[in-house]
Amino acid sequence: MTVMITMEELKKRLQERQCKLTPQRQIVLQVFIENHDEHLSAEEVHQILREQGSEIGLATVYRSLELLSDMDILQKIDFGDGRSRYEINKRDEKQHHHHHIICLECGNVKEFEEDLLENLEELISKKSNFNIVDHQVKFYGYCQECQKKREN
């Protein structure tokens, strides 16, 4: 289930956190709106912006991504490939975030919406007297295309 986020919603989230939506932040966020199913690195965001004719610098992209991540507008994710990736934080505070499946060959990342860990989380919470508010799961393996290539 893909949730579409609008610039107006993101602008409202920033205002709630007393943060301005500068032109640089707006064009960075627009990249995520237009690529809503992607998990983009700073370099990928910068490349997309350059292809669109933007003069924004890579350092500005990094600063914008870090600020937007710190404010929970974007979610920063580490898939173990040495680069932080980002996506719009679409979740409702009452819902867990989706999980990811990552291909070790091509690096393709897909979202997995099913939350199979609710019972385990409840058990851990009760046994440890720990208030769990979220969790993240990453599954690593080979996508269908890479499996075919590996068989040949």
> Which residues, at least 6 apart from 57, have a Cβ–Cβ distance to it below 8 Å?
46
Q: Is 106 annotated as a binding residue?
A: yes
Q: Is 97 annotated as a binding residue?
A: yes
Q: Is 146 annotated as a binding residue?
A: yes
Q: Is 19 annotated as a binding residue?
A: no
Q: Is 135 annotated as a binding residue?
A: yes
- Please give the backbone phi and psi of residue 118, each rounded to the nearest 5 degrees, phi first: -60, -45
- What tens-digit pLDDT sequence spans the chain (152 residues)? 445 678 888 888 888 888 888 899 999 999 999 998 888 999 999 999 999 999 999 999 999 999 999 888 898 888 877 889 998 887 555 455 667 888 888 888 887 766 677 778 888 889 999 988 777 778 889 999 999 988 87
- Which residues share a beta bridge with 110? 101
Domains along the chain with CATH numbers: 7-88 (1.10.10.10), 99-151 (3.30.1490.190)
